[in-house]
Structure 1
Amino acid sequence: MAIRLVLADDHPLILNGLTSLFNFEPDFEVLASCTDGAAALEAIRRERPDIAVLDIRMPGLTGIEVARKVNEEKLGARLVLLTAALEDEDMLDAVMLGIQGVVLKEMAPQFLVQCIRKVYSGEQWLERRSTKQALEKLLKREAGAREMAALLTQREIELVRMVAAGLRNKEIAGKLCISEGTVKVHLHNIYQKVNVDGRVALLRFAQEKGLV
């Protein structure tokens, strides 16, 4: 039986090229070609393909967001991500979502064909260096989270993330529905607990522990 595909990429030339590539292969059937994430998700719901090939960067829903929906709704499609450049956070998301294949667009088209055949047979096709970096980052983040849970309260961890995101005391107070004075007290307590002397040092500390 043919491997049934849904393809999604917001660049028409790439999408047409992918469609032509798989139409030339006798063991593939292209069920739908989509130019954005929302259309891809609808096609996956409607067609129930064996594999969905998703561009990571798409308008509306990204490939990662579509993959998350596919998992949440238990739609059954195996997932392959296409990307021009692989960021650590993208690879981390892919690993955590259990995505079976990741292919760089710079690779020869035949590698994508091989990837999909392997994924269809139950194997994985992931870029090794990026996978290793993503797993190391995940382990660092988990270790940092455990360390932070031992030092800080959940409210204090939330406040650290807000500081790391660049929010000022007034903005933090508004989001947490507390006074600026209370924010300052929290920050003073956090500085003492993690042994830093200000917001810049706190940001570096949060980065080192994988909180941001």
Structure 2
Amino acid sequence: MIRVLLVDDQHLIRAGLRMLCEAQPDIEVVGEAGSGREAIPLAARLRPDVVVMDLRMPSVDGITATSRILADRPTTRILVLTTFGDDDHLYPALTAGACGFLLKDAPPAELLDGIRRAAVGDSPFSPEVLRRLVQRAVRAHAGGPRPVSGLTARERDVLTLVAEGLSNTEIADRLHIGVTTVKTHITSLMTKTDSPNRVRLALFGRAA
């Protein structure tokens, strides 16, 4: 069961998200918060697997709350769900430690898939947000990506699939290896490419 904490200053948004999540057999909403200030102690007490986090909220915003929650419990997965997909919100949220970034106009199935992917260690992004990340990465590597030596053939296979946005389970199925093996390869790739998280690794793979 995936334990979810909903954080949004609009009650109707939280109510809709709760109804959507609780209709799923594998997702349990363990709490709600109307601000980042409320979310920080709730996350510490309830220990959710995934926090669905709005960004613009009174008192303490979602970016600050994300940073504080992860400082206390780094294993928490924080999935941003916001109306604002611009760079002024995207990059600060990723820097704070958010694992994914979805827009509020995303289809319900995309949101549910995002929660599930976040829970297993993946990084879900709305397609338009991912495209902008990739375009920025390509521009940053206009002179050619930094070469990385020492990657095994299997690591290169995994890197290619991470760059395509596949989940760990999908990569395991595609390469006919175990999910644990995929996680081991990804950890090695993050070290070798100096990527602090899966998002940066995916962008590296796309720009390479």
- Residue 81, structure 1, aligned to residue 83, structure 2: no
Contact 1:8–1:15 (8 Å) recurs in 2: yes
Q: CA deviation at 1:68?
A: 0.8
The 1:29–1:130 alpha-carbon spacing in structure 2 relative to 1, beyond 3 Å, is: same
Task: Name the structure 2 match of 1:163.
Answer: none
Task: Name the structure 2 match of 1:168.
Answer: none
CA distance in 2, matches of 1:136, 1:4: 36
Task: Name the structure 2 match of 1:130.
Answer: 132
Task: Name the structure 2 match of 1:99.
Answer: 98
User: Larger radius of gyration, structure 1 or 2?
Assistant: 1
SS of equivalent residue, structure 1 residue 18: helix
SS of equivalent residue, structure 1 residue 132: helix
Q: Letter of the aligned partner of 2:116 in structure 1? A: R
Q: Deviations over 1:110-131 (max 9, x none)?
A: 1110001111111111231232
The 1:38–1:100 alpha-carbon spacing in structure 2 relative to 1, beyond 3 Å, is: same
Q: After the TM superposition, which segments of 4 or more aligned residues of structure 1 sit over 4 Å from their partners?
A: 133-137
Map residues 174-185 of structure 1 onto 2, 5 A cutoff: none
CA distance in 1, matches of 2:29, 2:92: 26
SS of equivalent residue, structure 2 residue 48: coil
Task: Name the structure 2 match of 1:20.
Answer: 19
- Residue 66, structure 1, aligned to residue 65, structure 2: yes
Task: Name the structure 2 match of 1:117.
Answer: 116
The 1:59–1:135 alpha-carbon spacing in structure 2 relative to 1, beyond 3 Å, is: farther
CA distance in 2, matches of 1:134, 1:84: 21
Q: CA deviation at 1:73?
A: 2.0
Contact 2:64–2:96 (8 Å) recurs in 1: no
Q: Deviations over 1:30-50 (max 9, x none)?
A: 110111111111110111110
Q: CA deviation at 1:95?
A: 2.6
CA distance in 2, matches of 1:135, 1:94: 17
Map residues 147-158 of structure 1 onto 2, 5 A cutoff: none
Q: Letter of the aligned partner of 1:5 in structure 2? A: V
SS of equivalent residue, structure 1 residue 85: coil
Alignment TM-score, normalising by the size of structure 1? 0.60
What is the RMSD computed on CA atoms of the aligned residues? 2.0
Q: What percent identity do the matched residue pairs reach?
A: 31
Task: Name the structure 2 match of 1:35.
Answer: 34
Alignment TM-score, normalising by the size of structure 2? 0.61
Q: Letter of the aligned partner of 2:19 in structure 1? A: S
Q: CA deviation at 1:98?
A: 3.3
Q: Letter of the aligned partner of 2:89 in structure 1? A: D
Q: CA deviation at 1:75?
A: 4.7
For these two proteins, the number of residue pairs brought into alignment is 138
